[in-house]
Amino acid sequence: MRTPVPDYLAEVADACAPSTGGELASYIPELTRVDPRYFGLAMATVDGSIYSVGDAEVEFTMQSISKAFVYGLALRDRGMRAVLEKVDVEPSGDPFDGLSFEASTGRPRNPMINAGAITAHTLVGKEGIDADERFDLIHRLLCDLAGRELRVDDEVWQSEVRTSDRNLAIAHMLRSKGVITDPAEEVISAYARQCAVLVTARDLAVMAATLANGGVQPVTGKRVFSGAQVRQLLSVMLTCGMYDSAGDWVSAVGIPAKSGVGGGILGALPSQLGIATFSPRLDAHGNSVRGIQTFERLTADMRLHLMEVAPPARSVVHAVRVVGEGEDAVRVFELSGLLGFTAAERVLQWLSADPPPERIVVVDLTEVHHIEDVARRMLLEGMRRMRLDGHVVHVVDSGDVLPDPDPGDGVMLGPPPMAI
Ligand code: GLN
């Protein structure tokens, strides 16, 4: 069978293709040379399957999309506390090139606007390294995320350097407030170079899937970020990634995302997917018009919105059986799926509201594929209390999903001697 997913993506792309609204970014002169008709869409799963349609293999400059990953790199290199001291995480409601600083400290509002991104850029690597070394670290990171060697568009880089009065002004303000210490010209040149790294929509989908996958690149298997770094990164993308239209984006699309004036948008849906679009015409916020439409359509059709309320996890207790009779009767609880806090709460609520009359109780985890640590502790405590109530508790865990199963006073592992 040929999977229908690419056909489905093609259908979404066809529906959005007629959109020609928006304008090419012109404040970086070289960006006006891009063909405005380009339109690519790509999707990558956390298992490393990649689907793409249209111009998904055409290279374009990352621009502000790089900000998200460079923020992650700063977190990786300097730690959360040091980075937060220099860059806040409050949505600014200002345009991407706004002069948005916290009044008392001079901290930029967040790392997705230029002021915060320029600061995060200077936090990459050890203190005291030069601009080229810093760029090399950033370049390495971006290549690791894409899983291939990425090039820089030198024309776009130099074009931005020649017209970067506003970013230079921002860098000088940051220096005047002591937020950055490096020479403004050097920082802005290296920052513009980071923005000029060339990617395709397909690359961006894989990079986003790395975030969706908790920091492990799904194709190469390389860990790029820790889980905590990804959580921070995705939180900031969700609240600030689309600048002064972040609220519209969150309500209409509901996927942590980052856009760039090169025409790319990347979205990462935790534990599920990376999605990317490339369409160079932009709205007044600097976000791709057709990219937004495509994300809106995908999220509506595929119910990808983060706040989409899934059916409650009622299937956790999959079956309850009583085997045998009288003294030898055994109550078997078969659990299934993924056990997190809410699922464990349901099981415990169930056991406490309706205590089994049988002395022997079996908790069968055969159909459970993952137990979060909080749920593990809750279940074990529940079993310990059942023992105190006089039950003999057995756990069937043939898939080894319950590490360290002793709740303190010896719950038996393995089914009871009688058939269940
Ligand atoms: N290099 C661009 C700048 O700093 C990136 C802006 C963007 O993509 N929104 O102005």
For the segment 367-410, what is each residue's pLDDT rounded down to a tens digit? 998 999 899 999 888 888 988 998 988 899 888 888 776 655 55
At 330, the pLDDT band (50, 70, 90 cuts) reads very high
Residues near ligand 1 (Cβ within 6 A):
63-64, 96-97, 114, 160, 167, 192, 195, 260-261, 286
pLDDT at 116: 97
The active-site residue, picked from 58, 152, 261, 289, is 261
Residue ranges per structural domain of the chain = 5-302, 317-413
Query: By alpha-carbon position, which residue is closest to atom 6 of ligand 1?
Result: 64
pLDDT at 43: 97
The CA 28 to ligand 1 mean position distance, Å, reads: 9
CATH assignment of 317-413, among 3.30.750.24, 2.120.10.80, 3.20.20.210, 3.40.50.10140 = 3.30.750.24
Ligand 1 atom showing the smallest separation from residue 243 Cα:
9
- Residue with token string 């980071």: 194
pTM above 0.85, yes or no: yes
Q: 159 catalytic, yes or no?
A: no
The CA 157 to ligand 1 mean position distance, Å, reads: 11
Could you list the residues known to form a binding site for substrate, using ranges.
Answer: 64, 114, 160, 167, 191, 243, 261
HEC sequence for the chain = CCCCHHHHHHHHHHHHCCCCCCECCCCCHHHHHCCCCCCEEEEEECCCCEEEEECCCCCEECCCHHHHHHHHHHHHHHCHHHHHHHCCCCCCCCCCCCCCECCCCCCECCCCCHHHHHHHHHCCCCCCCCHHHHHHHHHHHHHHHHCCCCCECHHHHHHHHHCCHHHHHHHHHHHHCCCCCCCHHHHHHHHHHHHCEEECHHHHHHHHHHHHCCCECCCCCCECCCHHHHHHHHHHHHHHCCHHHHHHHHHHCCCCEEECCCCEEEEEECCCEEEEEECCCECCCCCEHHHHHHHHHHHHHHCCCCCCCCCCCHHHEEEEEEECCHHHCEEEEEEEEEECHHHHHHHHHHHHHCCCCCCEEEEEEEEEEEECHHHHHHHHHHHHHHHHCCCEEEEECCCCCCCCCCCCCCCEECCCCCCC
d(CA 139, CA 124): 11
For the segment 99-126, what is each residue's pLDDT rounded down to a tens digit? 888 888 889 999 999 999 999 999 999 9
The CA 259 to ligand 1 mean position distance, Å, reads: 9
The active-site residue, picked from 12, 51, 64, 316, is 64
The active-site residue, picked from 46, 58, 67, 368, is 67
Query: By alpha-carbon position, which residue is closest to atom 2 of ligand 1?
Result: 63
- The stretch 222-229 carries a mean pLDDT of 98
Q: 191 catalytic, yes or no?
A: yes
Ligand 1 atom showing the smallest separation from residue 64 Cα:
8
Q: Is the pLDDT of residue 255 over 80?
A: yes
Q: Is the pLDDT of residue 348 over 90?
A: no
For the segment 179-216, what is each residue's pLDDT rounded down to a tens digit? 999 999 999 999 999 999 999 999 999 999 999 999 99
Is the domain spanning 5-302 CATH 3.20.20.70? The answer is no
